[in-house]
Copies of this chain bind each other. A is one copy, B any other.
Amino acid sequence: MTIKEIGKRAKEISYRLGRMSAGEKNDGLKTAAEALIARTDEILKANEQDMAAGEANGLNGGLLDRLKLTKERIEGMAEGIRQISRLEDPIGSVDDMKKRPNGLLIGKKRVPLGVVGVIYEARPNVTSDVFALCFKTGNAVVLKGGSDALESNRAIVRVIREALAEKGLPADALQLIESTDHETAKEFMRCHEYLDVLIPRGSARLIRTVVENSTVPVIETGSGNCHIYVDETADLSMAAEIVFNAKTQRIGVCNSCESLVVHQAVKDEFLPKLAERLAEKQVEMRGDPAACEACGALLPATQEDWGTEYLDYILSIRTVSSLEEAIAHINRYNTGHSEAIITGDYANAQKFLDEVDAAAVYVNASTRFTDGGEFGFGAELGISTQKLHARGPMGLEALTTTKFIIYGNGQIRP
């Protein structure tokens, strides 16, 4: 099938999906979860083919680990689908219904987006995840996964489609683009006739490619160059614990801390204290000259460090002489993800919350909390670092839109 044919099928089935009740959708999800468990061997066999090809092609260890499926991982995928089935269905609620002076009753009804396209790399668990989020919200989904995971994705998609069909539910709710060449990817990104939104999930490079080439509206999930600012009134023990947590609790995630900004009044006391704590995990600290002066453990930072998302045991450290300077530095170098201030001062806390431009701004807490689960959304589609449509952790609602519904009794415009 061509991209257009796939898109057209998805569009057609999207109307039916939009009409399905929460009960039908939840049944479909449970069925899909059961089928993944029941047909685990078939999926593992397909995954072995991908793994063998990946090893032959010299994929690195990290990528191979992401690609690999096990019985436990497939159980995890099934459990993820079941969890989504238990969330409240956002579709169909009507907000802000108001009577206008002319008698028209106007409200905003929550509805599916329609057809969601997702482009991602070699992580087969994304396949079932994204299916579940889209099915729950009544959207048809078209997936384009990385070529390294093609056999695994084929198997997962086949199992879910067949499970839906057996229950009389629409298999075309989930389609996979099997061709992996660049021309197909480009065509997909320009298929605005049928796609309502395109979501890239993966590396910064993948996301950039999609943003540059897509004519379909994109929801961008970005990288995180997250800062923690320790001001002159901070509880320095709390500050050290929070920086230690945000830097080291999990390396390689977008909400980990990459850069520390510290007020010059406390640098001499704070930096040696922090260095001691971070030494437990062998974190390399790179500071500006004033920071290096305050603590012998630091290496000198270069200009490049301020804009770098290390995803590693490295922390850059900048000293400032005021809150204003800290905010300006953060607004210049951050990626719009998560930023925190550690302070004991009321006005400084409020000013930081007001003026730092990011999806999530914290007072006295670790940036590691920026996460759909931690925010109480149940499921997460990713963390948006753009400002349109959805910003910050995206729950089910990010996969919906609204339409105005208007009840009249013969009104015409004068």
- Asked if A245 is at the interface (CB within 8 A of a chain B CB), the reply is yes
Contact of A242 among B217, B235, B366, B410 (CB under 8 A): B410
- Would A391 and B369 count as touching, CB distance under 8 A? no
Q: Which of A208-233 contact B (CB under 8 A)?
A: 211-212, 215, 217-220
Nearest opposing residue in chain B for A366, CB measure: B412
Distance (whole angstroms) from the CB of A31 to the closest CB of chain B: 25
- Would A364 and B215 count as touching, CB distance under 8 A? no
- Would A114 and B197 count as touching, CB distance under 8 A? no
- Would B217 and A360 count as touching, CB distance under 8 A? no
Nearest opposing residue in chain B for A331, CB measure: B15
- Would B361 and A241 count as touching, CB distance under 8 A? no
Q: Which of A391-414 contact B (CB under 8 A)?
A: 391-393, 401-413
Bound CA–CA A269/B402 (angstroms): 37
Which B residues lie within 8 Å of A238 (CB)? 410
- Would B104 and A410 count as touching, CB distance under 8 A? no
Bound CA–CA A408/B368 (angstroms): 13
Distance (whole angstroms) from the CB of A400 to the closest CB of chain B: 9
Contact of A365 among B19, B362, B393, B410 (CB under 8 A): B410
- Would A361 and B410 count as touching, CB distance under 8 A? no
- Asked if A359 is at the interface (CB within 8 A of a chain B CB), the reply is yes
Which B residues lie within 8 Å of A218 (CB)? 217
Which B residues lie within 8 Å of A38 (CB)? none
- Would A215 and B219 count as touching, CB distance under 8 A? no
* Stretch touching chain B among A124-132, A299-307, A382-390: A382-390
- Would B197 and A363 count as touching, CB distance under 8 A? no
Contact of A408 among B113, B215, B363, B408 (CB under 8 A): B363
Which B residues lie within 8 Å of A113 (CB)? 387-388
Contact of A404 among B196, B357, B392 (CB under 8 A): B392
- Asked if A353 is at the interface (CB within 8 A of a chain B CB), the reply is yes
Nearest opposing residue in chain B for A356, CB measure: B403
Which B residues lie within 8 Å of A357 (CB)? 15, 18, 114, 403
Bound CA–CA A98/B377 (angstroms): 12
Which B residues lie within 8 Å of A242 (CB)? 410, 412
Bound CA–CA A276/B195 (angstroms): 42
Bound CA–CA A235/B202 (angstroms): 55
Contact of A413 among B114, B366, B387, B392 (CB under 8 A): B366
Distance (whole angstroms) from the CB of A239 to the closest CB of chain B: 9
**Other 19 A-B pairs with CB < 8 A, given A212-B215, A388-B389:** A18-B357, A100-B374, A100-B376, A104-B365, A197-B388, A217-B220, A217-B388, A235-B410, A244-B412, A349-B407, A357-B403, A360-B404, A360-B406, A364-B408, A364-B410, A364-B411, A365-B407, A368-B413, A388-B388
29 A-B pairs with CB atoms under 8 Å apart are A15-B357, A18-B354, A18-B355, A19-B354, A98-B376, A106-B376, A113-B387, A113-B388, A114-B357, A217-B218, A217-B220, A217-B386, A217-B387, A244-B412, A249-B412, A353-B405, A359-B403, A359-B404, A360-B404, A362-B408, A363-B407, A363-B408, A365-B406, A365-B408, A365-B410, A366-B413, A369-B406, A392-B403, A393-B404
